[in-house]
Amino acid sequence: MIVITEVPERVTGSRATSGSAQRDIATTEWMGQQFRAVSGNGACMALARQLVEAGCPDQEWMTQTAAGKPSLKGPSLHRLAQLTITGGLVRRNYAPIPAFRPLWAGAGRRRAGRPHQPYRDGRRGL
């Protein structure tokens, strides 16, 4: 069984007041080698991907806090490596994030082609 220790990152300095999301740090040891992953969404899943790339066989896994309290457990490390968490905490098959995607990509698609409908008294709506 692979035991993954996951702790929140200690945020200091300017990043503490920047409004950035806190990240988690996941660590484990396998075959005498230390593995570490830092992520704001699914650090244990990123660590599982590192272990699979290093040749770790499929086996049970468990995450624990720094105090040793178990938090998550699963039957397949390779299945964990295939999962990721999006901003809405939805798990899906892992796909690497493209290097650059503009923030405005896809903006306004919901209203495209839909004319503005004013209120009955003539005021403009959203």
Give 3's contacts (C-beta < 8 A, 6+ positions apart): 28, 61, 62, 63, 64
Q: What is the pLDDT of residue 85?
A: 75
What mean pLDDT is predicted for residues 59-70? 90
pLDDT at 3 over 70: yes
Query: 42, 49 in Cβ contact below 8 A?
Result: no
Report the distance separating Cα 105 and Cα 44, nearest Å.
29
Which residue type sits at 32?
G
For residue 51, pLDDT beyond 90: yes
Tell me, what's the pLDDT at 35? 95
Q: Is 116 a residue whose pLDDT tops 70?
A: no
Question: Distance (Å, rounded) from C-alpha 120 to C-alpha 126?
Answer: 14
In whole angstroms, give the CA distance from residue 29 to residue 43.
Answer: 15
- Over residues 79-102, the mean pLDDT reads 63
Contact by Cβ (8 Å): 22, 8? yes
Tell me the average pLDDT across 11-15. 68
